[in-house]
Structure formats: structure tokens, C-alpha cells
Amino acid sequence: MSIEMNRQQAWETVCEFVKDPGLRRHMVSVEAAMRAYAEELKGDPDRWGLAGLLHDYDWEIHPTLEGHPREGASLLRERGCPEDVVQAILSHNTAGTGVERKSAMDFALLACDEITGLIIAATLVRPHKDIRKIKVKSIKRNWKDRLFTAAVSREEVAEAVEDLSREHFDGKLELWQHTGRVLAAMQGIAEDLGLDGRLASPASS
């Protein structure tokens, strides 16, 4: 009988394959957001958290949309990652894997993924470098500036939130409500993210 992967084992897998601190920060951010949505949608926070933490674990070894995360799924299974978590991870890149979103975990993962990048960037451009001081209105301003984190597709983020809203919130989840929920989850782990002001210059602190 195989032993199911726990959070510590998942983190060890991340540390083994992900060397970029920024990518690790992103993955821990998505983990926090997924745990928050698990509470909201009566899912298992530990399993949903694994999906967020591991979703990009293979990006540095399979750095193409064709290979990621399809080519990394087998190792996750070998290490005891639950199949519903693997399914969620595969479904966050349907174009590359052919795996469609089905469960609430699947829809939440895609909706939480890239918005965290916008929130992190919005924090790092502030002199205080403290996510606890960031407001949703700041994210709105950055959203309108297409040159700010240009790699984040506003259309894809909005579509993912619309899909989550339609499938699991009766169409009542708005983009900025979602953003606020993700932001709050990240603010709750500001120290773990290194976004608690420690990166601010002495003159800014």
C-alpha cells in the first residue's frame, strides 16, 4: 500500500526541483490561496494546498507549455501525490496536457495561479515591500497598466475567474472579490513569502 504524500514531502520535492526563489514564492502563494478556497468550497485544505504548492514544481526541468506539467506528473505519482491533486495540476495547462478541468479544485487552481504574480509584483514595486499594506485598489491600478507584469494575461485571468464563478459560485464571484480573497490568503503568510517588509531599503522602512 502506497503512502500518500504530505506537505513536508511536497516541499522537499519543490526544493529539489525549483531553485528560483521567485518561483518558490509563487508556488507557496498559490498554496495559500488554494487552502483559502478549500475552506470556502468545503474541500480538503491539505490536498488543495498540495495542488497549489506543486503545480509548477517541474517548470525548471520542463520549461515549455508542451512539456509542463505533463512530463512531471509521473514523478508526482511515484512520490504518492494523490490522483485528484495530479489531475488539478495537469488541468491548469489544458492546452499542453489535454486534461480538462472537472472539480472545484481544478477550477480554483487555474483562477489562483497567475493573479498571485500580479499581487507579488504590486508588492515588490512599493518601497515598503510589505504585502500586508497592499489593497485591492492597488492591484486594480496595476491591472489597467498593460505594461505592468505584461506576461500576465488579464484576459486569461478574468476567464479563469469567470469559469470558477460559473461552476462553483452560481456566477456571483467577481474578479476583485477573488483578488481580495487571494490577497488576504497571501497576507496571512507574509513572513513565509518574504513580503513582510524585510526587502525594503533602510530609508523606506
What are 23-62's pLDDT values in tens digits? 999 999 999 999 999 999 999 999 999 999 999 999 999 9
Percent of the chain with pLDDT over 90: 95
Task: Give the pTM.
Answer: 0.95
State residue 187's pLDDT score.
Answer: 98
Predicted confidence (pLDDT) per residue in 54-97, tens digit: 999 999 999 998 999 999 999 999 999 999 999 999 999 999 99
Q: What is the CATH number of domain 7-193?
A: 1.10.3210
Give the span between the Cα atoms of 153 and 170, in whole angstroms: 24
Segment 120-143 mean pLDDT? 96
Q: How far, rounded to the nearest angstrom, does the alpha carbon of residue 112 sit from its chain's CA centroid?
A: 5
Cell digits of residue 153: 494575461
CA–CA separation, 119 and 184 (whole Å):
11
- Average pLDDT, whole number, for the chain? 95
Q: Residue 1's pLDDT band (boundaries 50, 70, 90)?
A: very low
Give the confidence band of 2 by pLDDT, cuts at 50, 70, 90.
low
**Domain extents for the chain?**
7-193
The answer to whether 161 and 175 are in contact (CB under 8 A) is: yes
